Amino acid sequence: MATFPTIDEIKLTLGIDPNDVTYDEAIASNLAATISLIESYLGRGIAYADELQEFDPPDTENPALLLYRFPVEIVNTVTVEGQALGGWRVQKRSGIVRWHEACGCTVAHYCCRSAPQIVVDYTGGYPDDAWPADLLDAVMQVFYGRWRASNNTGNIAEIPSGGGVRSVSVDGLTVQYDSATFAGSAFAGSVVPPELTGVAAALDPYRARLLTGV
């Protein structure tokens, strides 16, 4: 595992004096944009964050949900129509929530027929001190490429649309973005964005796969 670099460490790599705070916000913004782009391609969240994710009930023959952001640190609550739901367990590494009851309800026939939403409140993604080394290296390669493309100013167009992080905190500086709504059945596309072509092979093992037979 590897530790995400601080803003001061990034500034040293960029040739910026660590005491110069002029670029701190631009660095944090570009890190967030980079991670957002990568998450959109992967079809899953990788940055450590709290998440509130809504699902339609799972198929009765395959009662499992794939959380968007994993590995999962903790699932705080699972609710149906505002009521706490029991009878579930989570596979933290893969982000899969399984049910003991069909549709995630104790009254399966009623729940499956009326199809209430299931809401999972959880925390997932890689903490700053526990990133896979190859994934972190890919993130930073893309970040430095984007920074160079801005003529070393950090003035890059707004964050790509799609999935993405809600906020990034580095070295005490936090940049926050609008919440995104994630569908439990949304998975990564097959087209590699131009900015990711150089790291696509490193990112491939971290892409979301279609849930079948879990």
Q: Domain for residue 99, yes or no?
A: yes
152 and 184, same domain (yes or no): yes
16 and 57, same domain (yes or no): no
Q: Domain for residue 183, yes or no?
A: yes
Q: For residue 57, which of 15, 27, 99, 28 has the smallest C-alpha distance?
A: 99
Q: Domain for residue 11, yes or no?
A: yes
How far is the CA of 26 from the CAs of 20, 43, 46, 148, 159, in angstroms? 12, 25, 21, 13, 12
Q: Domain for residue 211, yes or no?
A: no
Question: Whole-angstrom Cα distance, residue 175 to residue 197?
Answer: 26
Q: pLDDT tens digits for 45-69?
A: 999 999 999 987 766 566 788 899 9
Domain range spanning residue 178?
A: 7-46+131-206
Tally the domains of the chain.
2
Of the listed ranges 10-14, 52-56, 79-83, 128-132, the one predicted with least confidence: 79-83
Query: What mean pLDDT comes out for the span 103-122?
Result: 65
Angle at 128 between CA 133 and CA 199, to 5 degrees: 35
Please say whether the dihedral angle defined by the alpha carbons of residues 88, 53, 112 and 213, taken in this order, is positive or negative: negative
Q: Domain for residue 73, yes or no?
A: yes
Burial class (CB in 10 A: 0-12, 13-18, 19+), 2: middle
Whether 120 and 67 have beta carbons less than 8 Å apart is answered as: yes
136 and 198, same domain (yes or no): yes
Whether 50 and 205 have beta carbons less than 8 Å apart is answered as: no
116 and 80, same domain (yes or no): yes
Amino acid letter at 61?
E
Q: Domain for residue 168, yes or no?
A: yes
pLDDT score at 155: 83
Q: pLDDT tens digits for 135-185?
A: 999 999 999 999 999 888 888 654 344 444 455 555 555 444 443 333 333
Q: Domain for residue 213, yes or no?
A: no
88 and 114, same domain (yes or no): yes
Q: Domain for residue 214, yes or no?
A: no
How far is the CA of 82 from the CAs of 57, 75, 89, 116, 138, in angstroms? 14, 16, 19, 10, 40
138 and 194, same domain (yes or no): yes
pLDDT score at 181: 37
Angle at 175 between CA 128 and CA 126, to 5 degrees: 20
160 and 94, same domain (yes or no): no
pLDDT score at 61: 61
According to the 3-state scheme, what is the secondary structure of 36-56?
HHHHHHHCCECECEEEEEEEC
Boundary (domain end) residue, out of 93, 124, 155 = 124
